[in-house]
Amino acid sequence: MKRKVLVIEDNSDNLRLITYVLERAAYEVISAVSGEEGVEIAGREQPFFILMDIQLPGINGLETTRKIRSLETDRTIPIIALTSFALRGDRDNALKAGCNGYIEKPIDPLTIMETIEKLLGDKACVS
């Protein structure tokens, strides 16, 4: 059975690219285009991990992360910020909000899975 990944991304080109990469790595991709939709899907689907865009319509990715974390009792779903923000302090803000890692856009489709697996650590090896 494929593991589900939730991608919360409002840019259709970015969503299409990351979906392609994840599906080639044998993940089932579910997606949301807003923070509110992402919170609802995360609560219902309990994905293996979440890729979180920070600049979203409505509530941003940091607030979305906080809301998802408030739904979890064990806080074990890895959330990886995927963002074009590259200012000093942005990584710290993402981690403080509850993200487990931070990847800057634009992504490299040839190396993104390696980066994700490093951020997932031991969880990536569990079937």
Give 47-88 pLDDT, tens digit per residue: 999 999 999 999 999 999 999 999 876 678 999 999 886 677
Instruction: Give the pLDDT of residue 125.
Output: 57
- 94 pLDDT exceeds 80? yes
Exposed/middle/buried for 6, CB within 10 Å: 0-12, 13-18, 19+?
buried
| CA dist., res. 123 & res. 28, Å (int) | 16
Give 19-33 pLDDT, tens digit per residue: 999 999 999 999 999
Q: Which amino acid is at 8?
A: I
Of the chain, the percentage scoring pLDDT greater than 70 comes to 93
Which is it for the CA torsion 51, 57, 62, 66, positive or negative? negative
**Domain containing residue 30: CATH number:** 3.40.50.2300
Question: Would the pTM of this model clear 0.75, i.e. be above it?
Answer: yes
Instruction: Give the pLDDT of residue 91.
Output: 86
Instruction: Give the pLDDT of residue 127.
Output: 44
What is the residue-averaged pLDDT of the chain? 91
Vertex 42, ends 38 and 47: CA angle to 5°?
Answer: 125
Structural domain containing residue 113: 3-125
- Tell the residue number behind the tokens 């064990």, with chain if given: 74
Domain count, the chain: 1
